[in-house]
Structure 1
Amino acid sequence: MNEPTKSCLSGSICAITARIPVGMRKLPTETIGICCTTSSEVFGFPISLAKRRGELGFRKSRYHYGDNAPLDFSKIQMRGIVSSVDCVLQPVDSRIGEESRMVTDKTVVKPGVQRYLLAIEYDGTRFSGSQWQPDRRTVVGVLQDAFQNFIGHPVPVFCSSRTDARVHALSNVCHVDVERKSKRRPGEVLPPHEPRVVKKAVNHFLQKSEGDIRIIDVRSVPTNFHSRFSAQSRTYFYRFLSGAGPLSLFERGRAWHVNDELDVISMQKACDLLVGHHDFSSFRAARCQAKSPIKTLDEFCISEVVPSMHFPSVIKIEKNSTEAIVGETSKIGPPFSNGLQNDFGMYTSTDRQAFGQIQKHRCFVVTARARSFLYHQVRLLVGVLKSVGVGDITINDVERILNAKTVTACPMAPACGLFLGHVQYDLP
C-alpha cells in the first residue's frame, strides 16, 4: 500500500488520501488507518469514503495514520477504521458524539440487531452537556455506561439534539442498536428485548448514577430510522423568573432570574418580528458549523405561567364529578402582588405575605420550535428578548440586529433556564 499523501499548514484543515492496490477489497490489518478529531478541534468530521479509482478520502479533519501516528487516546473524541473499499467509516469506540457523521444510510447493521428509540429526561445541572467528552460526565457517556452494564458490551448512543452543560431536557431522544446475546451459550443470538425490558433495566443502572437522568419511553424502530436525521421538529422552553428578592432554593439552576419587571407586551412584539424564515447569522455562536444560517422559526412566543415549584397549587376534585377543576392558585393572571387567595385561605401577595412564606416571582416561558437550530440560537434569541423586556433595546433595535447578520452584542441567556421540551417524529 502506498504511503498517504498529505497537505496542510499549521492550524489549517488537512486532507489525507490513501491508495489501495487494484483488486484488493480490504485493507491489511497492519495498514488500517485511523482518522480522529481531538476535543480541541471543533471543525470538521470524518466523511464517507471516496470510492472512485480505489481511493479512500478523509476530508476536513486532522489526521493520524497507522501505527506511526502519535495518538493521544485521552483526547480522542471520535475515531473510525477503514474496513473495506465500499463502506463508510465504522465506529470503533463506543464513546462517539451524537454529531458524528460516521453514521449514514449505508451503516451496516448485523442481523439480529434491534434499534431502540429512547426518550430521556435529565437535570442538566451536573452534566457537561449531552455529547460524550473525555473525563467529563455527559448524558451520552452515562447512557452508554448503563447500556454496557445491561448488555455486557459497549454500544454507541446517538442523540437527536445536542444540549450544552446545565441545559435540561424534558424529553430528548436517542437511538441505540442492541444485539441480544446468550450469556450461557456464547455466540448465540437471542430474540430482541421488549422495549419495556430495556426501559426498566437501563433505568435501574441510571438510578445508580446520581439519579438525574431517566428513560421515559422506549420504542423499537427500523434500523434506517435515525434519532437526529428523522426528527421533524424540536421544541425548546426557556424559563424567566421576574421580581426582586432571592429565588427559592428549589428554583436554583432552573430559570433566569431577572430582578426587574419584564415588559411582556414588547417582548411578544419582538417574538413576532423574529418568528418565520430568516437569516439568523446574528443569532449563532462563533463556533457554529451549520452550512447555512437560514432557518425557519415555526413558533416563537412568550407567556406567563404559574411557578410550579411553589405549593399549594392543587387540583380540586368535585365529589360527584370526575372532572378536575383547577384551583385559584393555578390561574394565570396579573402579578401576585394584586393578591390571590390560595387553597388554605392565606394571602400570597407581597403586601400581605404570611410569616414563613417565600415571596413568589412571576414566571414567564419562552417557546421556540423549529426543525433545527443554529448553535446557541435559542439562548441568543432569549438574550435579546430579555434586553427588550427590561428596556435596554427597542423593537427597532431587534430588527436592526436581525438584519445586521453579525454576532449580536446582546448578552446570551444562561444555560440553566433552557429546557429541550419535545422532539417530534413521524414514527413508523
Structure 2
Amino acid sequence: MTENPKHLLNSIPEPSRPSKIPKTQDHNDQEEEEDKQQEESNMSKNPRIQRYLIAIEYIGTRFSGSQQQPNCRTVVGVLEDAGVHALSNVCHVDVERISKRKPGEVLPPHEPSVVRRAVNHFLQKNEGDIMVIDVRSVPNDFHARFKAQERTYFYRLLSGSEPLSTFEKERAWHVPEKLDLHAMQEACKVLVGHHDFSSFRAAGCQAKSPIRTLDELHVSEVPATPYFPSVTDKEQSNSSLEDFQACSKPQVDRPINSFSNSDDVIDANVKTNQEFGIRRRHQCYVVTARARSFLYHQVRLLVGVLKCVGTGELTTSDVERILNAETVTAASPMAPACGLYLGRVKYDLP
C-alpha cells in the first residue's frame, strides 16, 4: 500500500523556532554578569553591616600586587599589577560596629569621614605609602568592581639621555631616545575603538574574551616635574614681574657711551652661574587610556608599542599589523610597571 505524498509532507514536524531572538551582548558584559551572579551568591545579607566604598592612593613600588598573596606585601594584604601606582583605586569593605563596653550590642555605623581618618591613622603608622582619599556609604549590594562604568590609566615616559632623577626612579619609564609625539598620536588612532586585543593580552589573562572597547588612547607632553617650578618658569615669572615694575617706574635715559662690551660677558657669566647645579629636565609624555575594563597587562603592552613608534622602530602600519595578528607574540616588549598609574574609577553613585 502506497502512502499519500501529501500526507507525508503534513506529518513532517516543523523546526522549532525561538519565541524571541535573544539580544546580543558584548563579551565583556557577559563575563561581568556571570562574575556578578557568583559574587552576589556569596554576598553577606547581614542588615547590620554597613558597606563603604573606599578610594585609595598608593605608591606600588613596594607592593606585590592588589590580590592577597602568601608572604608578600600586597595592597589587599595590608589593604593591580605589582609595581603599579594608583592615584585613585577603589574597593568596598563591610563594617559591623560592635560596642566595646557591651559586647554583642550593634552601634550605628560610623560616618565616612570618621572611617577615613581612622584608617589613615593606622596606615601612616606603617610604611606610609598608601592612604585613603575618600569614603562613601553605599548599599550592601553595591560592588566596587561590577558597578564601575569606566577606568582611566595614565602612563609616564621620561625621554632624554640624562640619567633619571632620584625622585623619579620607579615613578616613570626612562627612555633615552627622543620620542616623536605626532607619530605616537597617529598610532593611537589605530588602536582606539572596539577590537580583538589578543595582541595586547598577556599570558595568564583570565578574561574569557579578548574583545574590548578602548574609548580613549592619547599621548600628550606635560611638564616633567609638576610639583616644583623649573628655572625657566622662575625666569619667566621674574621677567613678567620686572616688566610690570619697569612700566610703573619712570624711565631714566642711559647715556649711549655708558654701554660697553663687558655687559655681554657679565650676562653670560651670570647665566652660567645660575645654571650650575640645576638638573636638566627630561621631556615627559603621558599616555592616557580609558575604557570600561582592560585585559591583563593591556595598557603596558599598548605603551610598549607606542614607545617603539615614538623611537622610529615601528610605523603606524606596523601597529595595524600587530593588532590584526591577534597574538601577543607580535607585540613589542611590554612597558615596565613603574610608569603606570590607575587614575580614576568612575561610578554612578546612589
Q: TM-score range by the shorter chain?
A: 0.7 to 0.9
Q: 1:370 aligns with which of 291, 308, 319?
A: 291
What residue in structure 2 maps to residue 228 of structure 1?
145
Q: 1:132 aligns with which of 59, 63, 68?
A: 68
Question: Does 2:47 align with 1:107?
Answer: no
**Which residues of 2 match residues 244-393 of structure 1 at below 5 A?**
244-308=161-225, 311-312=228-229, 329=233, 341-343=235-237, 354-393=275-314
Q: Give 1:177 shift.
A: 0.4
CA contact (8 A) 1:116 1:176 kept: yes
Q: Give 1:341 shift.
A: 3.8
CA contact (8 A) 2:193 2:213 kept: yes
- State the distance in 2 between where 1:172 and 1:310 align: 22
TM-score (norm. length: structure 2):
0.77
What residue in structure 2 maps to residue 141 of structure 1?
77
CA contact (8 A) 1:130 1:164 kept: yes
Q: What is the CA RMSD across the aligned residues, in angstroms?
A: 2.4
CA deviation profile, 1:374-404 (whole Å, cap 9, x unmatched): 0000000000000101011111110000000
Question: Does 2:331 align with 1:414?
Answer: no
- State the distance in 1 between where 2:160 and 2:167 align: 16
Question: Does 2:177 align with 1:241?
Answer: no
Task: Compare CA radii of gyration and give the structure with the larger one.
Answer: 2
CA deviation profile, 1:184-207 (whole Å, cap 9, x unmatched): 111111100110110000100100
Pick closer, same or farther for the CA change 1:341–1:194 going to 2, 3 Å.
same
- State the distance in 1 between where 2:272 and 2:320 align: 39
Q: Give 1:310 shift.
A: 6.1
What residue in structure 2 maps to residue 82 of structure 1?
none
Pick closer, same or farther for the CA change 1:352–1:389 going to 2, 3 Å.
farther
- State the distance in 2 between where 1:406 and 1:128 align: 27
Work out which structure has the larger RCO, using CA pairs closer than 8 Å and 6 or more positions apart in sequence: 2
Question: 5+ unaligned residues in a row in structure 1: which ranges?
Answer: 1-47, 49-98, 144-162, 315-327, 330-339
CA contact (8 A) 2:153 2:343 kept: yes
CA deviation profile, 1:232-266 (whole Å, cap 9, x unmatched): 00000000100111111111111111111101111
TM-score (norm. length: structure 1):
0.64
| Percent of paired sites with the same residue | 68
Q: Which amino acid aligns with 1:399?
A: E
Q: 1:424 aligns with which of 331, 334, 346?
A: 346
Q: Give 1 or 2: higher strand fraction.
A: 1
Q: Which amino acid aligns with 1:196?
A: S
SS of aligned partner of 1:203: helix
**Which residues of 2 match residues 162-181 of structure 1 at below 5 A?**
163-181=80-98
Q: Number of aligned pairs?
A: 287
Q: Which amino acid aligns with 2:346?
A: Q
